Amino acid sequence: MKKIFSILLIFFFTGCAKDMKPTDFKDQKPRLIIEDYLSGNVKAWGVLQNRSGKVTRQFKADLNGNWDGNTLILDELFYWSDGEKQTRKWTIKKIDDHNYEGTAADVVGKAKGYSYGPAFKFEYVLLVPVKGKNIKITFDDWIFKQDEKIAINRATMKKFGFKVAELTVMFEKK
């Protein structure tokens, strides 16, 4: 009985833990201005992990962004280790100094972006192809600028509120 009670307490307290917020990083440096960082050519390398942490896929990617002063058009080309090629074209509008909205063909509705200090958070629902069907997966996507060239991305993917996968990406601005 004590063991069950202890397990329930752990779930209760970890479930009540405060989530990380973009504003937690407001006074930190270096500042990530996403439209500046993603303008031009950026290379990326990443791993996809299942909910148990096992790496299931790897990729390399070429990103090319164009900022017109209001909107960032970001073309992404992914080269998955299993031979699949995937593209995505983001249109990301800057609302104010800290808020963004984004769209892409495989994104349901609008993505919401938040930028503070070195952190950029992007929340969206992506249609992910699985066995011939598109499944809606919720992304909690964080990018952290390390220096002028390097940024690290960590994304948690959920379905029905449960984590189904994680994505870790390293970006290098060319």
The pLDDT, as a whole number, for residue 9 is: 37
The pLDDT, as a whole number, for residue 8 is: 37
Q: Among residues of the chain, what percentage have pLDDT more than 90?
A: 81
Question: Within a domain: residue 105?
Answer: yes
CATH of the domain at 55: 2.40.128.20
Residue 137 is classified by DSSP as E
The pLDDT, as a whole number, for residue 6 is: 43
Report yes or no: 114 and 24 within 8 Å, Cβ to Cβ.
no
Question: Within a domain: residue 33?
Answer: yes
Q: How far is CA 61 from the centre of its chain?
A: 14
The pLDDT, as a whole number, for residue 11 is: 44
Q: Tokens 């189904």 belong to which residue?
A: 164
Q: How many CB atoms lie within 10 A of CB 146?
A: 13
> Taking Cα atoms as reference points, which of 164, 159, 165, 91 lies closest to residue 125?
159
Question: Within a domain: residue 11?
Answer: no
Question: Within a domain: residue 14?
Answer: no
Question: Within a domain: residue 80?
Answer: yes
pLDDT in tens, 134-164: 999 999 999 999 999 999 999 999 999 999 9
**Residue 60 identity (one-letter amino acid):** K
Structural domain count of the chain: 1
Question: Within a domain: residue 73?
Answer: yes
Q: Tokens 């004590």 belong to which residue?
A: 2
The pLDDT, as a whole number, for residue 143 is: 97
Question: Within a domain: residue 66?
Answer: yes
Angle at 106 between CA 145 and CA 109, to 5 degrees: 85
The pLDDT, as a whole number, for residue 131 is: 87
pTM: 0.86
Cα gap 62→47, rounded to integer Å: 15
Kindly give the parts of the chain with pLDDT less than 50: 5-17
- Say whether 17 sits in a helix, a strand or coil: coil
Q: How many CB atoms lie within 10 A of CB 117?
A: 18
Q: Write out the residue range of the structural domain in which residue 44 sits.
A: 21-173
Question: Within a domain: residue 102?
Answer: yes
- Output the average pLDDT for the chain: 90
